[in-house]
Amino acid sequence: MSTQDAYEEYYVPHNSKLPIFASLGIFLTLYGMGNMFNEMTAGVDSSFGEIVFLLGGLVMGTTLFFWFAQVIKENHEKLYSDQMNRSFVWGMSWFIFSEVMFFAAFFGALFYIRVFVVDWIGGVGDRGPSDMLWPEYEPHWPMLNTPDPELFPGAKEVISPWGLPLVNTILLVTSSFTITVAHHGLNEGNRKKLITWLGATIALGIVFLFVQGYEYYHAYSDLGLTLASGIFGTTFFMLTGFHGAHVTLGTFMLIIMFFRALKGHFSKEDCFGFEASAWYWHFVDVVWLGLFVFVYVLGS
């Protein structure tokens, strides 16, 4: 238990212009996005939504840039005590927990559909009488024959896990190793090792995204597997899509860390930014393993 003398001053900035700009930024981004979507769905030809959206993105991006710059600067000025760093660690951990719960919602939806709904519509179980509405439908997963093929045409075929998805799994698992090696490099004070392996991780992340992009292209153009092709396509693209978005974010974080490492930031004692990105990367990796098992392997 620390005593009074061991106490270090906890830095409380006097005030800050950053949050209000960030609030404005997020508001404009989402308000623009809402208009964009509504214009799209209503078939209205207007670029109001897009303009607001881009403006919001600009405000948000700029603010975040200055925000991080500010934090890095304060860190260099040694304003942050150990206690402050612990706050960052806790903060990041709970943020990742919230992300886990976000994915849990979509995984939960997938399980519920697979385990219950497919059968119910097909006439099994307590809600079995439902099949009187869908006489043509045969319960089967992956659901290629939707209950109403006129509205939701179903896919011709789904993606086999043992091709590109397996490659992607290997890429991501490897990247979890490379980032750990980079971390070791950091801890040993071996900057070259840090930069090399961090670079490798980023490269793996980018390749992953390209493979994923190609896979989507293939699904849309060859397999008829789309967001609108029924519940299989829905869960498939939503889960893998959100994962992809997180990989993109994680890669950005790593790229920032890469440049910071090049500039000579980080030491064994002072590497929270790097560690946070690394945890995030591991989290993204774990989610992928879940996807690989539940969406790809058990889904085909």
Q: Using CB under 8 A, which residues numbered 127 to 166 contact other proteins?
A: 127, 129-130, 132-134, 143, 146-148, 151-152
Number of residues that bind other proteins (CB under 8 A): 88
CA dist list (Å): 26 to 30, 55, 59, 111, 253: 6, 10, 8, 32, 19
Longest dimension (CA), the chain: 77
Selected from 78, 98, 259, 263, the binder of other proteins by CB under 8 A is 98
| Residue 64 contacts other proteins per CB under 8 A | no
Chain position carrying tokens 């005030």: 15
Q: Which of 101, 136, 192, 269 binds other proteins (CB under 8 A)?
A: 101
Q: Does a cis peptide bond (omega within 30 degrees of 0) precede residue 147?
A: no
Part of the chain binding other proteins (CB under 8 A), chosen from 169-177, 191-199, 203-211, 234-242: 234-242
> What part of residues 268-297 is at the interface with other proteins (CB under 8 A)?
none
If the CB atoms of residues 197 and 236 are measured against other proteins, the closer one turns out to be 236
**What whole-number distance in Å separates Cα of residue 74 and Cα of residue 85?**
12
The DSSP code for 247 is: H
**Nearest to residue 171, comparing CAs of 194, 205, 200?**
205
Torsion of Cα atoms, 121 then 124 then 128 then 131, to 10°: 50
Smaller CB distance to other proteins: residue 139 or 199? 139
Q: Which range of residues in 197-205, 220-228, 243-251, 289-297 is near other proteins by CB under 8 A?
A: 220-228
Report the site for other proteins in 9-38 (rule: CB under 8 A): 9-24, 26-27, 30-31, 33-34, 37-38
